[in-house]
């Protein structure tokens, strides 16, 4: 207890003279959920900037409709995965060099490399799955599809990572207070998605600002 009557914990906010560590801890968990998912957030934007060329579906149709569409290309897929993986590896090396707490880490170097690659790949596979669904619904490329547009890559990124690294996903996004990280990610993604699309539209890389 300090002379001014305030009791200080290891972190948190002073409320009625007592520092509450839980508030700051939850904020850190929320931020970590967004931070750790950056390798999956970058690939979509990188794919738009680096894309073009041969479509992933090679222009083929299924039941009279394109499988994916011209917007999903091999160059965009490889470029997006490479960008997300490169960013993720930089994060892995940085957290290792700084000896960061587990809340900010992907694990050791080997696990971290696998995790960020899977996360980046899963994000683009999820995005392609969203395009596949839109084509089946008769929606044209660029047509707005609320929820699907914002979360297809989140489902893909977390889903594939959970399939291959279930304990890491559980400990960082599901178990106990870590669920706050998942909630923060779900709130943050639509805001980021909108901002990135507006920037892409301004740069002439997207036909629509959504």
Q: Examine the pLDDT at 193 and tell me if it is beyond 70.
A: no
- d(C-alpha 168, C-alpha 39), whole Å: 15
Higher pLDDT, 55 or 206: 55
Instruction: Look at residue 2 and tell me if it is in a domain.
Output: no
The candidate with the shortest Cα–Cα distance to 86, out of 109, 49, 119, 117, is: 117
Residues of the domain holding 183: 39-202
Higher pLDDT, 209 or 174: 174
Q: Examine the pLDDT at 46 and tell me if it is beyond 90.
A: yes
> Angle 194-200-204 (CA atoms, 0-180°, nearest 5)?
145
Instruction: Look at residue 26 and tell me if it is in a domain.
Output: no
Instruction: Look at residue 190 and tell me if it is in a domain.
Output: yes
pLDDT confidence tier of residue 149, bands split at 50, 70 and 90: confident
List own/partner pairs for 172-175 with CB under 8 A and 24 or more apart: 172/32, 172/33, 172/36, 172/103, 173/33
Number of domains into which the chain is organized: 1
Q: Examine the pLDDT at 202 and tell me if it is beyond 70.
A: no
pLDDT confidence tier of residue 197, bands split at 50, 70 and 90: low
Instruction: Look at residue 92 and tell me if it is in a domain.
Output: yes
Q: Examine the pLDDT at 170 and tell me if it is beyond 90.
A: yes
Q: Examine the pLDDT at 10 and tell me if it is beyond 50.
A: no
Q: Which residues contact 129 (CB under 8 A, 6 or more apart)?
A: 152, 156
Instruction: Look at residue 69 and tell me if it is in a domain.
Output: yes
pTM comes to 0.83
The confidence score (pLDDT) of residue 204 equals 64
Instruction: Look at residue 208 and tell me if it is in a domain.
Output: no
Instruction: Look at residue 105 and tell me if it is in a domain.
Output: yes
The confidence score (pLDDT) of residue 18 equals 40
Instruction: Look at residue 108 and tell me if it is in a domain.
Output: yes
- Compute the average pLDDT of residues 133-159: 90
CB 103 within 8 A of CB 33: no
CB 146 within 8 A of CB 137: no
pLDDT confidence tier of residue 24, bands split at 50, 70 and 90: confident
- Compute the average pLDDT of residues 102-108: 95
Q: Examine the pLDDT at 138 and tell me if it is beyond 70.
A: yes
- d(C-alpha 79, C-alpha 47), whole Å: 6
């Amino acid at each position: 207890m300090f002379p001014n009557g305030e009791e200080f914990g290891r972190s948190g906010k002073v409320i009625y003279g007592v520092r509450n560590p839980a508030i700051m801890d939850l904020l850190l968990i929320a931020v970590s959920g967004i931070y750790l998912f950056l390798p999956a957030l970058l690939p979509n934007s990188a794919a738009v900037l680096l894309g073009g060329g041969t479509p992933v579906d090679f222009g083929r149709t299924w039941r009279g409709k394109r499988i994916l569409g011209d917007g999903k290309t091999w160059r965009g897929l490889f470029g997006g995965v490479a960008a997300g993986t490169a960013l993720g590896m930089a994060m892995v090396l940085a957290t290792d060099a700084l000896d960061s707490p587990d809340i900010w880490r992907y694990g050791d170097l080997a696990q971290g490399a696998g995790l960020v690659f899977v996360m980046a790949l899963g994000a683009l596979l999820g995005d392609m799955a969203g395009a596949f669904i839109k084509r089946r619904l008769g929606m044209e490329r660029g047509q707005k599809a609320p929820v699907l547009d914002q979360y297809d890559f989140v489902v893909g990124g977390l889903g594939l990572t959970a399939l291959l690294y279930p304990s890491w996903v559980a400990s960082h996004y599901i178990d106990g207070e870590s669920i706050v990280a998942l909630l923060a990610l779900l709130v943050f993604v639509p805001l980021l998605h909108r901002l990135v699309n507006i920037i892409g539209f301004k740069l002439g890389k997207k036909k629509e600002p959504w």
